[in-house]
Amino acid sequence: MTPEFILGCIILIVGVIAVGFPRPKTYLSRLISLEIPGFGLLLIMLAYDEMLALVTFIGVTAISTFVLVRAIERKEAAQ
Amino acid sequence: MDVAYPAGLLVVAIGIVIGFAALVREKDDLHRILLTDLAEVLALVLIALVATDLAEALILPGLVVGISELMAVSEVYIAREGLRAPKEPAFRIEVMESAPGILALILVAYGIFLSGFTGGVVAAAGAVFYFICRGHAEQFELIETVSGYAWAIWIGAFFIFMFLPQYWFFAVMMAGGAILLKVMAKMSLVGTMRGGPDV
């Protein structure tokens, strides 16, 4: 039980609650909250020295944010 | 380690319960797509808790499958709802007008210097950044043709490794340059996702 692991677990739970029940329930607030459990996952990977997985996750998160922003942008424009 | 694994499993179980409770109560489809991304993070934590090289080997394909799945689902959603790209850009940022040329040039030059797979990724990041910020008017058939020739050169380099091992350095250079072109051509397609005339 390293400090990174404990912190990662706490951030993960907080992040899951933040994404599941965002307060102003908009797409953008939920998308921004998605970064919080991502950081929990990164800390847990850091605790177990999974460097390659960590770096790949950062890169994939950037692309997935872009994909989601594209869908959200079009949805907001249609409304 | 002994305590960490059950503790981590408990945390993930709580997370899955909360996540699925939110997913069941959600009616809007785009919100559901966002929650699917959360479910993917929880699944990755579950794999990461294994804490060996096996975990790392399982996370990498999991990430790739996850991103392609997300791309496909969001594309289906956009097509089904009949959503169109907004006429005017949502916001104008001055940096996005002036910076892309310089940054893309630096990234592409550094990528060519690195060569190989890593170089391809770095150079492609420059190309993607440029396309996203500036838009694009290239003939993508040409880029695909280059990518096809690069693949042939890459295979040729492997034949040199097999049949003429004394020329290994030449083959390394060939393979490094070809894979650079290949990765860059493929990844720069990501930058065209805003749509355009030639895609």
In chain A, domain spans? 3-78
pLDDT value at residue B199 = 44
B17 within domain boundaries: yes
Asked if B19 and A16 come within 8 Å (Cβ–Cβ), the reply is yes
B118 within domain boundaries: yes
Do B12 and B59 lie in a common domain?
A: yes
User: What tens digit of pLDDT does each residue of B140-193 get?
Assistant: 677 778 888 888 998 999 999 999 989 999 898 888 888 888 888 877 777 666
Neighbours of B88 (CB within 10 A): 7
Q: Which residue, chain included where needed, has tokens 């916001």? A: B91
- B35, B48, B194: residue with CB nearest A41: B48
Report how far residue B25's alpha carbon sits from residue B15's, in angstroms, rounded to the nearest whole number.
16
The model carries a pTM of: 0.70
B41 within domain boundaries: yes
Closest Cα to residue B81, out of A71, A64, A28?
Answer: A71
Do B117 and B167 lie in a common domain?
A: yes
B33 within domain boundaries: yes
Do B176 and B130 lie in a common domain?
A: yes
B182 within domain boundaries: yes
Do B149 and B100 lie in a common domain?
A: yes
User: What tens digit of pLDDT does each residue of B96-130 get?
Assistant: 677 778 888 888 888 888 777 777 778 887 877 77
Report how far residue A9's alpha carbon sits from residue A12's, in angstroms, rounded to the nearest whole number.
5
**ipTM of model:** 0.92
Do B68 and B113 lie in a common domain?
A: no
End-to-end Cα spacing for chain B: 51
B14 within domain boundaries: yes
Report how far residue B103's alpha carbon sits from residue B117's, in angstroms, rounded to the nearest whole number.
20
Do B53 and B104 lie in a common domain?
A: no
- Residues in chain B within 8 Å Cβ distance of A25: 31
Closest Cα to residue B181, out of B88, B116, B107?
Answer: B116
- A16, A25, A64: residue with CB nearest B15: A16
B198 within domain boundaries: no
Identify the residue with better confidence: A77 or B190: A77
Count: domains in chain B: 2
Domain that includes residue B77, residue range: 4-81
Nearest CA in chain B to A42: B45
Nearest CA in chain B to A78: B83
Do B14 and B102 lie in a common domain?
A: no
Domain boundary among B81, B111, B144: B81
